[in-house]
Structure 1
């Protein structure tokens, strides 16, 4: 069986632009970052510690535990190397596993070819040792191996997450172009909002931003609704230890919080979907949902933020038709939100000029492959001195 207490290099992946937020999260959990890249970080951790990381990381996508690494120059060398490893200690002979990869090597034109080499080598090894071959395919619900092969350095990991950690399992319906939960969590972290302050989200869509804010405010573990991870299918997994992590997380949830969470949208179907998502997440009683034009969104007195995620003409809407919308957003923040901090998340720099406010900061994010900015506006009461 695999040793769940032995430490190894752990590569934690995230979407482009979220690595600084992921680094801070990992440090807050007590780990030291050993290396950084644009789409992730590396630390030293055990498989048991990977369980905790999977349960608590909000901006990560996957947690990869390094099994072995070698200099590999050809597909044949790859097959021999993988076949020598004792996979029977990791994968049940009557189990199921899949292989994903990221390969940049002159001998490999298609990553699927590399995946197939690894699959066959692992299965052949287990069949040789156990006289039975495990099933394999593309399903990420069981054991998942990840091959990273860059030039002549190959690394084989076990993916302790399985499906992306961005899938929190609370979002049943998202409407057009829903925002990934990991991106929403990073946007919330990027604002000046603090638990206890108001979080106002006009044009809320499926409610992801508001839900992620409530989950952060109440210290709810982002993976608390998930019941399947890659680590569960590794031989040696201790369910009692995993349940202790879940139980500890439940005890740490804050029941009552100050500040209002308000999510509005002029589309009744969007609000219905947002309410369902919040109900699944267990936070619907903490969010005030309003079906109204963004300009009619109630803004309570007190400190807080107003966060807009309007269409920007890439996936939804025609840029020329959106000029009045952006002007209206600026007018709303100036007239209804003094004393708050305003934010607009968009990929269209020309449209942001129509807001009519000077941004105090611009943070770069990527919505899938689309480069976006989160613009911050200090909404002063009266004149700025």
Structure 2
């Protein structure tokens, strides 16, 4: 039997998630700003958690119902066969989105949800599970909008937007799923040179390497929410892990260059690349972005400079100079390449001084950002 599955994305990144899910052979039922709906089995949720790069959570619908108030919520949740889903002697956590006129604090709804599950398990099994905020075991999610409530199993547990290899962050690091969406928003293909000045902790370069060899996030993580339920099929999981390993490609032809002016950032990026198993696929350098080695006459350059949010006037002036210098670097040193700047400061983007061929919208947390594309032919025109 197939259930509704909601796969959440980072805000505004649904297009890239949709492509990933479709490439895995699933039909898209509905698409929204925050994710997509498909129909599938619990084993499909296992597959999605292991394979997807741009997702945030994979939620498996258990029950939807009319719930005008908390008492009705409790009764409907209590009447569900939780003894077939969650271990009575285990542990689970709850989370929610609640928009109901009778509920002033979503924590009250979460308590009612938790109590209903615990009471049902105690009745059926004469014991009760522990509960709390940790996401290392089972996780239940409530989406309650007006009078409609939907209860899901959160099959991910901890978010899958983090891919499990980043041991050390750097200043304002990109979350891995966002970095992947940025790469998918460029024209880069695995046979092209990828250059990443100002690499910071190396997330863009590392995700590029992982895409190039088709190494999926499931190979870098060992615990998911789906593992702590009665629905978990261990043999299916083992088969999928074998499939993940078998489709990893050789990195012989992968060409990635990444660097930063700060040696500590480069050291951190190297450690993260090693944790991801792609340290041999990235040529790291320590230098100013203006001296980035560009061995070919074509390729893709992606730069994620500081945004300058909430900086003082003097610092903002320095960033204006930086963005102008990036434009000069593109124009004078990167002829033949396609350049990209990812930024949350549209005012600074105007200082680049080159005509954009496209601008794509992203969100880094709540901050609206742009991925600006520049075709760097000779004589690039100003905007």
Retained in 1: the 8 A contact 2:42–2:231? no
| Partner residue, 1:59 | 54
- CA 1:234–1:52 in structure 2 vs 1: closer, same or farther (change >3 Å)? same
Q: 2:289 aligned to 276, 283, 294, which one?
A: 294
1:169 aligns with 2:173: no
| Partner residue, 1:268 | 263
1:256 aligns with 2:251: yes
- CA 1:378–1:74 in structure 2 vs 1: closer, same or farther (change >3 Å)? same
Structure 2 unpaired stretches of 5+: none
Q: 1:11 aligned to 6, 13, 19, which one?
A: 6
Q: 1:196: how far off?
A: 0.9
Equivalences for 1:121-270 in 2 at 5 Å?
121-270=116-265
Q: 1:190: how far off?
A: 0.2
Retained in 1: the 8 A contact 2:304–2:341? yes
Q: 1:333 aligned to 314, 330, 335, which one?
A: 330
Q: 1:257: how far off?
A: 4.1
Rounded to whole Å, the distance in 1 between the matches of 2:187 and 2:311 is 28
- CA deviations 1:115-170 (Å, max 9, x no partner) are 11111110010001100000011111111000000001100000110100012111
Retained in 2: the 8 A contact 1:206–1:271? yes
Rounded to whole Å, the distance in 2 between the matches of 1:260 and 1:381 is 24
Q: 2:347 aligned to 337, 346, 350, which one?
A: 350
Q: 1:380 aligned to 361, 369, 377, which one?
A: 377
Retained in 2: the 8 A contact 1:197–1:302? no
Q: Tell me the TM-score normalized by structure 1.
A: 0.96
1:105 aligns with 2:97: no
Q: Tell me the TM-score normalized by structure 2.
A: 0.97
- CA 1:316–1:367 in structure 2 vs 1: closer, same or farther (change >3 Å)? farther
What's the RMSD between the two structures over aligned residues?
1.3
Q: 2:299 aligned to 276, 300, 304, which one?
A: 304
Rounded to whole Å, the distance in 1 between the matches of 2:310 and 2:132 is 32
| Partner residue, 1:367 | 364
Q: 1:110: how far off?
A: 1.2
- CA 1:379–1:169 in structure 2 vs 1: closer, same or farther (change >3 Å)? same
Q: 1:349: how far off?
A: 1.6
| Moved >3 Å (runs of 4+) | 315-318, 381-384
Rounded to whole Å, the distance in 2 between the matches of 1:103 and 1:203 is 40
Retained in 2: the 8 A contact 1:340–1:380? yes
Q: 1:222: how far off?
A: 2.0
| Partner residue, 2:89 | 94
- CA deviations 1:245-265 (Å, max 9, x no partner) are 111111101113424201110
Rounded to whole Å, the distance in 2 between the matches of 1:309 and 1:376 is 12
- CA deviations 1:81-140 (Å, max 9, x no partner) are 100101011111110001110010011111111111111110010001100000011111
Rounded to whole Å, the distance in 2 between the matches of 1:210 and 1:257 is 16
Structure 1 unpaired stretches of 5+: 1-5
Q: For 1:61, what is the secondary structure of its paired residue?
A: strand
- CA 1:186–1:243 in structure 2 vs 1: closer, same or farther (change >3 Å)? same
1:321 aligns with 2:318: yes
